[in-house]
Amino acid sequence: VGKGQTFDTGGYCIKGGDGMDAMKMDMGGAAATFYAACAIARLKLKIRLTVITPLAQNAISSEAYLPGDIIRTRSGRTVEVGNTDAEGRLVLVDALDVAKDLKPDIIVDAATLTGAQMVALGTDIGAVYGDDRLAKTLMKIGEESDENFWQMPLYKPYNEMLKTPIADVKNVGGRAAGSITAALFLSGWVPDKVRWLHLDIAGPAVFTDKVPYGKGLARGFGVKAITAFAEKISR
């Protein structure tokens, strides 16, 4: 599952002008999963693979959603909008709900999800959450493929930050632990028996100079690691 925000202004909780042009790369998760799938197909790996890339644009309009809105998701769960710039997780949960219906053994989602990921790990390292064994496998693969990941905790007491009296859950939990609370939010749509990895790649996918063809351009972060991960679990 790959987050595909084709552009993200922040909506009515609008971003500042500095760096907004980079938000054309807010579809980095969708791009990574799509091109990893292309590589997996060419390698003819013995694996059942479905790719889901929810696509949207977050902008201001007369029909745009607002802070304080209550949204009913595909699963029926309701979400209070605390910040319109936390939109990626809203499209992701519907995609995760679609993935659940396909009865997978493993779900991997990739998303340029939070600025908090970059604050915690910088622009060279992606955050990985979820199944401990799978996360360790991905971290080892990442070292070998020059796409480094570090496992972050799904610290369940922080679910308290997402509570609201007027919906099942709120889409933001405040400034503290923003990458963790975003991952906890997503986890509410993942079945307990499904092994899951969430890759928050906001820093390395968007804000990086590690490309040979021009400063500030996307590097396709995640393609190599996801492909190698699929190859590993297919054996």
Helix (H, G, I), strand (E, B) or coil at 228: helix
pLDDT tens by residue, the chain, 235 residues: 999 999 999 999 999 988 899 899 999 999 999 999 999 999 999 999 999 999 999 999 999 999 999 999 999 999 999 999 999 999 999 999 999 999 999 999 999 999 999 999 999 999 999 999 999 999 999 999 999 999 999 999 999 999 999 999 999 998 999 999 999 999 999 999 999 999 999 999 987 666 666 666 788 999 999 999 999 999 8
Superfamily of the domain at 4-233:
Zn peptidases (3.40.630.10)
* CA torsion, ordered 212, 216, 222, 228, to nearest 10 deg: 10
> Quick one: which of 51, 62, 130, 61 has its CA closest to 95?
51
HSE value, Cβ hemisphere, 13 Å, CA-based, for 199:
33
Q: How far is it, in rounded angstroms, from Cα 37 to Cα 100?
A: 19
**C-alpha to C-alpha distance for 202 and 26, rounded to whole angstroms:** 8
For the chain, the structural domain boundaries read 4-233
Residues acting as catalytic residues: 15, 89
Tokens matching residue 115: 């600025």
